[in-house]
Structure 1
Amino acid sequence: MFDKLEDLLIRFEELMSELSEPDVANDPVRFRKLMKEQSDLTPIVNAYKEYKQCKQNIEDSLALLEEESDEEMRELAKEELNDSKARVEELEKELKILLLPKDPNDDKNVIVEIRAGAGGDEAALFAAEIYRMYLHYAESRNWKTEIMEADETGIGGMKSVTFMLSGQGAYSVMKYESGVHRVQRVPETESGGRIHTSTITVAVMPEAEEVDVQIDDKDIRIDVCRASGAGGQCVNTTDSAVRLTHIPTGIVIYSQTEKSQIQNKAKAFALLRTKLYDLEQQKAHDAEAELRKSQVGTGDRSEKIRTYNFPQGRVTDHRINLTLYKLDKIMNGDIQEIIDACIAADQAAKLAKMNEN
């Protein structure tokens, strides 16, 4: 581990030197690449420098204790020694986590797809509530949100909704939301007061760029048509809606949220690229079944990950056995505690696996 840290320290110094060269600023692509690498290495380098300083402090304190007879100075040296030893232990743990292999998609924006499952209208209402929960959470992170597709019901529910979240490290955080979310409550449509259980599925996909997925024109059928539903003026009077069919996979994308056919086409292609990229990711997950088992629910979409129990005001994440009694806050977007616990559990599982090897 320490050999690797020394290598990273040397690489960081090389980066700083390269970034100070005048010709680098004139090459935006190279400049961005170097800045990204510097940004990734900075937390590791800072932690390692502090670790080395603490190790030096321990040596200095021990030397002082050997030669110092003044009791007051010896007490100060002992205090410094204990503090540095405790900090070294903390930093060793931090460094192990910082050196864990990083998911290459972590820095990407995400496209989130929410679909109503079992439970009819009640599932569609819950899908709309979970969509709003994510919008509130995105707002708290200063992320940009953009709706891509929506199939709404007449009573305020959503059979499905697809939207993009753009922001620093969106995938690294949101990937833990993939899976089946279950709700237990008395539906408004239930006259007998019985508790019903309904489900929705959430798929979180890293946004794919053109370099990630090559789409052959001959594999695509493009149809244009009039948008349906409440779209206001001109949305329903022009052929602005776009339907893409990817012939090899059978994936169909329908986009009608914009007034312009060009904008809808761009959105449809962005969504298709992401779905094709996600398909490749899922295949890779299946091929690495052991890795998938060690992760905290970032692969299997059929896994029941969370239950929202309204009568008891509790939310339970089944992957990490976490139960919180603050349902109202969570439904209002306060999901950071759950996500932090998932990240910690995921890191612990990966560290344990690394120690086995």
Structure 2
Amino acid sequence: MSGRLSELAAEFGMVERALGDPSAMANSREYARLTRRHRELLPLVTLLREQSGLETDLAGAQELLTDPDMRELAQGEVAQISSRLADIAAELEVLLLPTDPDDGKNVILELRAGAGGAEAGLFVMDLLRMYTRYAEGLNLKLSVLDASESDLGGASKVVAEVSGEFAFRAFKWERGVHRVQRVPATESQGRIHTSTVTVAVLPEADEHDVTLDLSEVRIDVFRSQGAGGQGVNTTDSAVRAVYRAGTPDEIMVVCQDGRSQIKNREKALVVLASRLAERERAAREARERNERASQVGSGDRSEKIRTYNYPQNRVTDHRLEGEAKNHPLDSVIAGALNPVVAALARDERERQLMHLAASEEGAQQHGAA
């Protein structure tokens, strides 16, 4: 562990020096990468500096233990410093756990109505409002790229982009099937109905993730449909991008958010590349599962992850256990998703730590043999 910490501390020093180089500021992409990496490493380096200072203080306090007049005071100081050093060691262990390389990316968010007809479409819009408020609370921007709206105020499908720092880390827990239990406004007998919405969360692809051959993409332009303010339906600004049209590999993306055909085309290609990258990731994970001959939960869209029970004002996340799985519905649906996300992140860290401990124990046993 100490070797890895030294490597990361050295990397932090190199990043700081690079940020001070005027040539880095001239390259906006490189400067953004360095700034992001600096923020990622700063908590770890801050702990290392505190640890170093406390170790010096501890050595001084231990020397005072031999002084009869200072022994009692020194014993208290030694105990306090030792306790904090143990806490720092635990915090550093967590910071050294593997991180998701996609955490810093923007997100393509797709909501699709499932079972439940019109009620599922209404819940699509409820989730969209929830995610919009959640994003705003994190200083992220959610922009709707395409929506298939219904007459009742719902939508069969919504595609949006969430942009900002660590957008994927904030939203990655949301992929899967969301189930809602409530009495629809159109229900005259007060019966509770169950509906579902599928949420897909795709890290926005960049040029390193997937190679999109534009010769395999057909671009269609047409007039935007639906609400959008003055100017809508007067120009052919909406864009439809179709990858390998007419084949089993076909992927279709529609973007009509902006009035600029060029911007809609750019966004459509980004979404298309993100879907293609997600398809390749899913295929890769499937191959790995087959090789291991075991099933591993991966947040697949077919998994039911959360239930929103309106009569009981309760949201239950089925990936958690005990008290951590239940949260007040009124606050969650208003965008207060942070407690749920924090619980899921803690659960993942605990599983990673258990796996790490088991791996280290196995390595020690192997070495002893």
TM-score (norm 2): 0.87
CA distance in 1, matches of 2:22, 2:206: 30
Contact 1:97/1:347, CA 8 A, preserved across alignment: yes
Q: Distance in 2 between matches of 1:79 and 1:305?
A: 48
CA distance in 1, matches of 2:12, 2:239: 48
The residue that corresponds to 1:306 in the other structure is 306
Are residue 69 (structure 1) and residue 68 (structure 2) matched?
A: yes
Is the counterpart of residue 354 in structure 1 residue 352 in structure 2? no
Q: 1:206-254: CA deviations, max 9, x gaps?
A: 1112343322122011222233334454422333222111006200112
Matches within 5 A, 1:305-324: 305-321=305-321, 322-324=324-326
157 and 41 in structure 1: CA distance in 2 versus 1, 3 angstrom threshold: same
- Which aligned segments of 4 or more residues in structure 1 are displaced greater than 6 angstroms? none
- Tell me whether 159-168 or 315-324 shows the greater mean CA deviation: 315-324
Rate the CA distance shift 1:32–1:186 in 2: closer, same or farther, 3 A: closer
Q: How big is the shift at 1:20? A: 4.6
Indicate if the aligned counterparts of 1:285 and 1:299 stay in contact, CA closer than 8 A. Answer: no
Report the CA distance shift for 1:29/1:334 in structure 2 as closer, same or farther (over 3 A): closer
What residue identity is the alignment partner of 1:252?
M
Are the counterparts in 1 of residues 310 and 329 from structure 2 also a CA contact under 8 Å? yes
Contact 1:212 1:277 survives alignment (8 Å): yes
Q: 1:154 aligns with which of 148, 151, 154?
A: 151
Aligned to 2:219, the other structure's residue is in SS state strand
Q: What does residue 2 of structure 1 align with?
A: 2
In structure 1, runs of 5+ residues without a counterpart are none
Q: Is the CA contact 1:182–1:198 (under 8 Å) kept in the aligned structure 2? A: yes
Q: Is the 8 A contact 2:103 2:166 kept in 1?
A: yes
- Structure 2: where are the runs of 5+ without partners? 360-369
The aligned residue for residue 363 of structure 2 is none
The 1:150/1:7 distance shift into structure 2, 3 A limit, reads: same
Return the alpha-carbon distance in structure 2 between the equivalents of residues 135 and 22 of structure 1: 37
Residue 107 (structure 2) aligns with: 110
- List per-residue Cα deviations over 1:19-45 (Å, max 9, x = no partner): 555665566665555444433322212
Q: Which moved more, 1:159-168 or 1:255-264?
A: 255-264
What are the superposed Cα offsets for residues 103-143 of structure 1, whole Å, 9 maximum, x if unpaired?
11111111111111110011111111011000011111111
Hey, what's the Cα distance between the residues in 2 that align with 1:320 and 1:171?
Answer: 20
Equivalent positions of 1:235-314 (< 5 A) are 235-247=232-244, 249-289=249-289, 299-314=299-314
Pairwise CA distance, 1:99: 0.9
**8 A contact 1:185–1:309 mirrored in 2:** yes
Cα distance in 2, alignment partners of residues 27 and 10 from structure 1: 23
Q: Report how far residue 60 of structure 1 moved.
A: 2.5
Q: Choose 210-219 or 28-37, whichever is displaced more.
A: 28-37
- The secondary structure found in structure 2 opposite 1:41 is helix
CA contact (8 A) 1:150 1:158 kept: yes
SS at structure 1 position matched to 2:12: helix
Distance in 2 between the 1:106 and 1:230 partners?
Answer: 33
For the structure 1 residues 6 and 230, does the alpha-carbon distance in structure 2 shift closer, same or farther, using more than 3 Å as the test? closer
Query: Please, what TM-score do these two structures have when normalized by structure 1?
Result: 0.90
State how 1:164-203 maps to structure 2 within 5 Å.
164-203=161-200
- When structure 1 is superposed on structure 2, of 162-171 and 273-282 the one drifting more is 273-282
Residue range with higher mean Cα deviation, 17-26 or 56-65:
17-26
Partner-residue secondary structure (3-state), 1:114: strand
> In the alignment, what sits opposite 2:38?
38
* Pair 1:228–1:288, CA change in 2 (3 A): same
Aligned-partner residue type, residue 68 of structure 1: D
Q: Please give the secondary structure, in 2, of the residue aligned with 1:48.
A: helix
Does the 8 Å contact 1:136/1:332 carry over to 2? yes
CA contact (8 A) 1:282 1:299 kept: no
Equivalent pair of 2:327/2:340 in contact (CA under 8 Å): no
Residue identity over aligned pairs, in percent, reads: 42
The CA distance in 1 between the partners of 2:155 and 2:278, in whole Å, is 23
What SS does the aligned partner of 2:92 have? Answer: helix
Quickly say closer, same or farther: Cα 1:341–1:264, change in 2 above 3 A: same
Count matched residues: 351
The secondary structure found in structure 2 opposite 1:162 is: strand
- Report the aligned-residue RMSD: 2.3
Aligned to 1:331: 333
How far the C-alpha of 1:6 sits from its partner, in A, is 2.1
Rounded Cα–Cα distance in structure 1 between residues aligned with 2:178 and 2:27: 46
Match of 2:367 in 1: none
Alpha-carbon separation, structure 1, partners of 2:36 and 2:325: 37
Letter in 1 for 2:68: S
